[in-house]
């Protein structure tokens, strides 16, 4: 299925990615730098990142179907290449959002069943190191994902509207 209601599926589905990737990135960065936001957002960040991750290959596949019906151009080829690489940002964003949520969630620390099975590595000084590494990775991937969405969108707009 490469169309919906007579419209190409790609420009419809791509809007899910264009909204959800930056939203997941903003939520992730807020969760890293603002503990109150982290507590309020909770599992929302991983859910938004999961939606973005799910929509990414759908948008890519729909884009490849649309590309076959479009006259070739260097700008379209660039858009396609960048779009194919989005999964390499969406997947780590999701994985890191889940890891951050699990690592910082009070429920996981206070739940006896979980706490009894968590290795000692996640306590004390090691926990500080793990928190720092996860925080840096999450922020770097979040920023990279937003930049990549911008680059893909810019190339896509140029392929449609010229420029």
Model confidence band, residue 100 (pLDDT cutoffs 50, 70, 90): very high
**Its pTM surpasses 0.75:** yes
pLDDT for 32 equals 96
Among 124, 125, 97, 108, smallest CA distance to 31 is for 97
Query: Which comes out higher in pLDDT, residue 31 or 161?
Result: 31
pLDDT by residue (tens digit) across 72-91? Answer: 899 999 999 999 999 999 99
Q: How many domains does the chain have?
A: 1
Backbone φ and ψ of 68, nearest 5°: -65, -20
pLDDT for 118 equals 57
Q: Which domain holds residue 18?
A: 3-161
Give the CATH number for residue 43. Answer: 1.20.120
d(CA 131, CA 55): 29
Query: Which comes out higher in pLDDT, residue 1 or 97?
Result: 97
User: For residue 27, what are the contacts with CB-CB under 8 A and spacing of at least 6?
Assistant: 37, 41, 44, 45, 48, 97
């Amino acid at each position: 299925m490469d169309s919906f209601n007579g419209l190409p599926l790609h420009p419809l589905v791509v809007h899910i990615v264009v909204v959800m990737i930056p939203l997941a990135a903003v939520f992730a960065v807020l969760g890293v730098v603002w503990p109150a936001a982290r507590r309020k957002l909770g599992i929302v960040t991983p859910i938004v990142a999961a939606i973005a991750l799910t929509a990414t290959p759908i948008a890519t596949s729909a884009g490849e179907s649309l590309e076959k019906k479009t006259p070739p151009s260097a700008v379209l080829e660039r858009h396609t290449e960048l779009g194919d690489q989005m999964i390499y940002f969406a997947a780590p964003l999701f994985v890191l959002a889940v890891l951050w949520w699990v690592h910082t969630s009070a429920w996981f620390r206070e739940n006896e069943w979980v706490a009894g099975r968590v290795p000692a590595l996640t306590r004390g000084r090691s926990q500080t190191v793990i928190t720092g590494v996860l925080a840096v990775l999450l922020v770097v991937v979040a920023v990279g994902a937003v930049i990549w969405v911008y680059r893909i969108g810019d190339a896509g707009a140029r392929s449609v509207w010229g420029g």
